[in-house]
Structure 1
Amino acid sequence: MMAVRLFILIHIFQLVKGKHEGFIVGGAVVESIKKFPHVAFLNLKVPDSNLEFICGSSILNQLILLTAAHCLDGITKGTASVGNLNRESGTLYRIASFRLHEQWVTDDLVNNNDDIALCKLKKPLIFGSNVKRVVLMKDPPIAGAADLAGWGATDEKLFNESIQLKHTKQKLWTHKQCRKILRQLPKGAICGGESRARENFASKGDSGSGLLIDNKIIVGLVSYKDVGISRSLVIYTDVPYYYNWILRTSKRLACPFY
């Protein structure tokens, strides 16, 4: 799963195709899209160039997708693919507009996270067994682990990509536990994975992909990692922390006169 614009920090690991990408290393191929019907693959285009980047996102409702702000920073158009394990075979929807968090600061994830954004589609999704929305909660149940699914890189040395959706379990850390290992951790961020290198973690192309409890309650978005400290410990945007912002902004994005 490397659809995470796993923004890898400065002196650390530089993503070959650009700052917008990230994938899942290790993990397992998802057997049925019905297990993760809320995922949407984003293909994003940089204006006035032939550059394209990929990210993950989660379906909030029939018009709105939730992803990371860094995925959309500098992007003017793109598409979302839903309803299929194969990122090239899903139903395509054009992105009409998007909103980045007002406090998002380009490439300053460590000091001022707010790495969260919403996309509005040009036409509503058709819900069914293969396409559903995630559950958004202000106070989700406490859990020791969560699932991450995406189409990001499967190898951080060779940068092999997977067109098939993959997933992996991530250990959830408290903010206090994260601060003991990381140099800094901004408010509105959590971390997941292992402090020591393991075989299963988010990487290039997984940016924006959702971290889920019980495969349906979204608690995080892949944001970045500091590979100088750990290649497998990923920093996620804390979705419940932004609950009110998501509700307010999704209403304004869906209904401009709200």
Structure 2
Amino acid sequence: MEFFVVFALLLASAYASPTIFQRELVVPVLDDNVEGRITNGLTAASGQFPYQVGLSLKVSSTSSAWCGGSLIGNKWVLTAAHCTDGISYVTVYLGATYRTSAEATYTVSSSDIIIHSGWNSNTLKNDISLIKIPSVSYTSRIQAVPLPAVASSYSTYAGDSAIASGWGRISDSATSVTNYLQYAIVQVITNAACAATYGTTYATSGNICIATTGGVSTCN
């Protein structure tokens, strides 16, 4: 069975409902303050997801947050616009399995962040951004994610299995993100099935939806 990685932003979820993702986006957003998480998943082995990036975001002098991202080249990290919107700087953790124990870290300012020009915080459309970092050397634990071929860019992937990874909260009772990288294997479902829960406003051709059977998901 083939697997692919979900580069996605979680919009909403419940145990009995599908999860909806923005198609263009990066691995689930994992913030101390939002509903990002991996529930009923597995603990990743060292080097299992070498493209996984941790982002410590400085929002203000008294506020910070945590998000996830994917390394897509030796100078670029892909993440969500709502993670980087309004921050002053971000510390990027590369090659980590334990959240803050990384092979390499870089701190860059907002001038090195490119937020999609069409980002809309009300509708969550175009929730995608890029972070430019100094050139990083690849190792067994630091690798760019293998992107799909252009020819398959518009596949629905319905029926395929996907892997989502990150350091989100692992249960409703958790008060902070986990320190150990988690992952969940999930099945992609049709947008028509997803629209039965979320409606066509969110379940559009620009989204990918997954089933959350048994509470294995990227949210609560």
TM range (shorter): 0.7 to 0.9
1:70–1:107 Cα contact (<8 Å) kept:
no
What's 1:246 paired with? none
SS of equivalent to 2:131:
strand
* Whole-Å separation in 2 of the counterparts to 1:131 and 1:182: 36
SS of equivalent to 2:132:
strand
Output aligned runs, 1:214-225, within 5 Å.
none
The offset of 1:159, in angstroms, is 2.9
* Whole-Å separation in 2 of the counterparts to 1:152 and 1:16: 7
What's 2:209 paired with? 191
What's 1:132 paired with? 143
Q: So what's the TM-score if we normalise by structure 2?
A: 0.75
Amino acid aligned to 1:102: S
Q: So what's the TM-score if we normalise by structure 1?
A: 0.65
The offset of 1:66, in angstroms, is 0.6
The offset of 1:56, in angstroms, is 0.6
1:18–1:53 Cα contact (<8 Å) kept:
yes
1:42–1:56 Cα contact (<8 Å) kept:
yes
Residues 217-249 of structure 1: CA distance to partner in whole angstroms, max 9, x if unpaired?
Answer: xxxxxxxxxxxxxx5xxxxxxxxxxxxxxxxxx
* Whole-Å separation in 2 of the counterparts to 1:7 and 1:117: 16
SS of equivalent to 2:194:
helix
Amino acid aligned to 1:152: G
Answer yes or no: is 1:176 the counterpart of 2:192. yes
1:6–1:202 Cα contact (<8 Å) kept:
yes
Could you tell me which of 94, 97, 100 is aligned with 1:82? 94
What's 2:45 paired with? 31
SS of equivalent to 1:75:
coil
Amino acid aligned to 1:166: Q
| Structure 1 unaligned regions, length at least 5 | 10-14, 204-230, 232-258
Answer yes or no: is 1:103 the counterpart of 2:118. yes
The offset of 1:68, in angstroms, is 1.1
| Structure 2 unaligned regions, length at least 5 | 1-7, 14-29
Count residues with an aligned counterpart: 187
Q: Aligned-residue CA RMSD in angstroms?
A: 2.5
Identity %: 27
